[in-house]
Amino acid sequence: MRLVKEPGSARSGFRDWYMQRLSAVVLAVLLPLPFVVLILVYAGVVDQFGLLDIVDHFVSRLLHTILIFALIIHAYMGLKVMIEDYVPAISWRVTLIGGMLVMMSGFGIWWMAIIWAWGG
């Protein structure tokens, strides 16, 4: 593969590009689901028991977990490209990307803890 002048932190470029698309396909299938549930709760169509029935289900937990992984990969790749485009100073880039990774890992762990803790 021909080396580009400024490959950023992606090294090969293709892998990041591919992961961004792969996670996008997963999100395209899964992401509308929680938003629909949120709107149903907002509209009063689903009450708390209904909501717990939905989110407590093993399949929901599994799908939610896949969603979290795809979301973190997609958001990380997307924000990283934005930081690399608009932040020229390498010290700031490293700080921002590193901080972003820590934040996303933290939220990912917290999210997983919430999901798998339901119903004991």
| C-alpha to C-alpha distance for 39 and 51, rounded to whole angstroms | 11
- Give me the least distance between CB of 43 and other proteins, in Å please: 9
- Give me the least distance between CB of 65 and other proteins, in Å please: 14
* Residues 49, 115 contacting (CB under 8 angstroms): no
What does the binding site for other proteins look like in residue numbers (CB under 8 A)? 6, 21, 24-25, 27-28, 31-32, 34-35, 38-39, 41-42, 48, 51-52, 55, 71, 75, 78-79, 82, 85-86, 88-90, 107, 110-111, 114, 118
Between 48-56 and 32-43, two packed helices, what is the crossing angle to 10 degrees? 160
- Give me the least distance between CB of 32 and other proteins, in Å please: 7
Take residue 94 and report the two structure tokens written for it: 């490293």
Give the helix ranges, DSSP H, for 14-89. 14-30, 32-43, 48-56, 58-86
The neighbour count for residue 53, using CB atoms within 10 Å, is 12
Cβ distance to other proteins smaller for residue 59 or 90: 90
Cβ distance to other proteins smaller for residue 2 or 35: 35
Cβ distance to other proteins smaller for residue 1 or 8: 8
